[in-house]
Amino acid sequence: RLGAVPDVAVVADLDRGAVHKAPSTEWFSARAPPVLSLCTELAACMGDCIRFRQSGVQVACLRFVVDVLNLGSGFLASSRAPADDAARRQLALLRTFADDVTSRCRAKGLGADALASLQRARLQSEGAILADVCDVA
């Protein structure tokens, strides 16, 4: 474990022109998922630098992002951070609402195109919520 962040540590956000206290690293462990899976995959892609596979590195990094954001079994699902908890609650509420709207639309006989539009809107909304989580992180 890395331990606590020094009291003097700050994060300089150059895009926003802001400086704030660095968050805790208590959650981080290079020997635990999802970071361990990333390190293992990257090590396999790097080889002895002669067998470097760029596509393998890209796949490993994308899988890491999916592992972090997977709401069922990923890091976000078990995170104790308040922002992650709020996102999980928002997503649960959104899914409940979307399921209710979809069942009502089916009952009224809306066509497959309308139901597909609802599904796309739901996925876009979930993406926006996850983007907010990443922005806060």
Three-state DSSP state, 4: coil
Out of 19-28, 50-59, 66-75, 94-103, pick the least confident: 19-28
Q: How many Å apart are CA 118 and CA 111, to the nearest integer?
A: 11
- pLDDT, tens digit, 9 for 90 and up, residues 26-53: 656 667 666 777 888 888 877 666 677 7
Which of left, alpha, beta for 6 (phi over 0: left; psi -120 to 50: alpha)? beta
Taking the model in full, what pTM does it have? 0.54
In this predicted structure, the answer to whether residue 7 has a pLDDT above a threshold of 70 is no
The letter for the amino acid at 100 is: D
What was the pLDDT predicted at 12? 73
Strand segments, DSSP code E, in the chain are 10-13, 18-21
Q: Measured between alpha carbons, how far apart are the two ends of the chain, in Å? A: 19
Model confidence band, residue 108 (pLDDT cutoffs 50, 70, 90): very high
Count other Cβ atoms within 10 Å, centred on residue 60: 20
Q: What is the mean pLDDT of residues 1-5?
A: 51
